[in-house]
Every structure is written in structure tokens, then in C-alpha cells.
Chains A and B, each alone.
Chain A
């Protein structure tokens, strides 16, 4: 006869399925048997992990849909284009000025100049 408790007995105890007499016998045994006390601790840990995992269902990660991603990208592009236009859009006067500067530089560098 096996002097130790079976896995089924330990599982039955931690899940609360043992009868009153089985519970008393198991408890009396683990008080004097270190090996079975460790087995009980392990099964209790398995049980509590199952309980805790069930009580804290994993929250689904927020999923960014393709359309939302495209929208965000387009909005970002619009902002960038807007900023670029606002900063760098040359006025008519600016264009002339730059051309004038270039022309002046060209003429200064030309051997005829």
C-alpha cells in the first residue's frame, strides 16, 4: 500500500470535492508527512493560479484597424504639409528677391561682370 497521498486525493481536497471523512484523513496525513504536505502546497498553488487567471481575464489589446491607421497617417501628412507650406511658401516678392540674388551672384561671378 502506498503510504503517500495520491494526486487525485490532493486535487480532490484542494478543489473542495473530498468528503468530510476524506478531508479529515488527508489533513491528518499531511500533518505528519512532509512529502505530502509539499504535494498539497503545489496542488493548492495550481488551484489558486487557475482561480486567479479565471478571475482576471486578459484584456484584449486595443486593435488599431487599418482604416484608423490610414486616417492617422493622412492627418499627420496634412499637418506636415501645412507646416511646410506655412513656413516655406515663397511670396511673389520672395521669389523675385531670390532670383535677383541669384542673378546678381551670377553676374558678379561672370568674367564679364
Chain B
């Protein structure tokens, strides 16, 4: 990893939500290091969680997330990024790195295992993603209107809100928002484990 480049990125603390992401992304593409720092602080946790979801151990996930950001910054500096949509782009970059890492790890432990280059593994992962997405849609569509609205706002692809913001926007208590989140996630887990 390019350590010099990484040093300019911030420690991951809770990021203030003052500036909207599209504005920060535009500034980052223009070479503004402070904008990159703010974007990394805002989105790095999501990137790490995306790697944990793939079964990557926590410390490896953190390293791969760092590497993903470094590559994105390098690509932007090299003029190779026409568009910057975060955290999606960072999650995808981290996903590629995770695949490489898993292949390298498997090759190191089982050099004769041909399954590591089996493209059907990626296909299975995509099928599993599709199945899970269907579960999510089914569980959400069977939930109450207010629960659907809570999730719509919490996971808004454009600008996701915090539970506090959702509670305020919908006129619910924060406790109620958290309760809804827990109930829906519980149903989801049950569906996944049952199917």
C-alpha cells in the first residue's frame, strides 16, 4: 500500500454530516484532500461492514478498506475516475480486493485446489445476493407502512439518514425507530435461517 498516500487520510472518527456527499465527491474528484478525508470518515465504516458481510475477519477487513480508499484516491489523481459515487464505488473496490485476498489465501493454504478459480463461485455469490435481496423485499413489503418508511429513509440510496433524523422526520420517538429496526432485522434473520 502507498503509505504516504494513506497518511493524508484521516483517522476514522464519526464524521460531521454538514456537507452533502455529492458536493464532497465533486471536490474530491477535483483533487481536494480535505474532501477525501471527509468522505473516508463518512463512508469507511460501511466499507468495512461490507467486507465483514463477506466473512472477512475484522482486521483484514480494515486493511482492505484502507487499501480500497488508497486505490480510489490514486485513480482520481490519475484522472481515471470520471464519476465518484460513494460509498458504492469504495464498496465495490473493496469487494475486488477481498476476492483477490481470498484467492491468494486459499492458494497459499491449498495450492492444488482448483475451486479457487472456479467462476461458478462468483455466480453462487450473486445468486445468494439475489435471494437475500428478495427476502428483504418480501419482509419489508409485509411490514407496516411506518416500518417501510423508516427503512426507506434509513437506507436512502441518495442520502441515508440517521435514526435520529428519521425519528424527527416521521414524528416518531427514537426508541420506536430502533424498535422497528430490530423487529424487521429479526424477521430477516429468521427468513434467512429458515430458507
Binding site for B on A (CB under 8 A): 7-8, 11, 14-17, 20, 27, 30-31, 37, 40-58
CB contacts between A and B, total, < 8 Å: 75
Once the chains bind, are B58 and A50 in contact (CB under 8 Å)?
A: no
Instruction: Specify which of A27, A54, A58 lies most central, judged by the most chain B CB atoms within 10 Å of its CB.
Output: A54
Once the chains bind, are A48 and B157 in contact (CB under 8 Å)?
A: no
Once the chains bind, are A53 and B136 in contact (CB under 8 Å)?
A: yes
- What size tier do the contact residues of chain B reach? 20 to 34
Closest A residue, CB atoms, query B134: A53
Can you list 10 A-B pairs, Cβ within 8 angstroms, ordered by A? A14-B52, A46-B185, A46-B188, A46-B192, A47-B49, A48-B49, A49-B132, A54-B152, A55-B155, A57-B157
- From residue B78, how far is it (CB to closest CB) to chain A in Å? 27
**Distance, CA A41 to CA B57, complexed state (A):** 9
Q: Which of A16, A20, A40, A52 contacts B133 (CB 8 A)?
A: A52
Once the chains bind, are B49 and A44 in contact (CB under 8 Å)?
A: yes
Binding site for A on B (CB under 8 A): 13-14, 45-46, 49-50, 52-53, 55, 57-59, 88, 129, 132-133, 135-137, 140, 151-152, 154-157, 162-163, 181-182, 185, 188-189, 192
Q: Which of A16, A20, A48, A56 contacts B50 (CB 8 A)?
A: A48
Once the chains bind, are B53 and A20 in contact (CB under 8 Å)?
A: no
- Chain A residues contacting B154 (CB-CB under 8 Å) are 50
**Distance, CA A17 to CA B57, complexed state (A):** 20
Q: Which of B45, B88, B136 contacts A16 (CB 8 A)?
A: B45
- From residue B159, how far is it (CB to closest CB) to chain A in Å? 12
Q: Which of B46, B140, B157, B189 contacts A46 (CB 8 A)?
A: B189
Once the chains bind, are B185 and A16 in contact (CB under 8 Å)?
A: no
Once the chains bind, are A45 and B163 in contact (CB under 8 Å)?
A: no
Closest A residue, CB atoms, query B56: A41
- From residue A26, how far is it (CB to closest CB) to chain B in Å? 9
Closest B residue, CB atoms, query A23: B45
Once the chains bind, are B157 and A55 in contact (CB under 8 Å)?
A: yes
- From residue B128, how far is it (CB to closest CB) to chain A in Å? 9
- From residue A21, how far is it (CB to closest CB) to chain B in Å? 12
Once the chains bind, are A14 and B55 in contact (CB under 8 Å)?
A: no
**Distance, CA A56 to CA B192, complexed state (A):** 20
- Chain B residues contacting A47 (CB-CB under 8 Å) are 49, 53
Once the chains bind, are B58 and A54 in contact (CB under 8 Å)?
A: no
* Given known A11-B182, A47-B49, contact A41–B133 (CB-CB < 8 A): no
- From residue B47, how far is it (CB to closest CB) to chain A in Å? 11
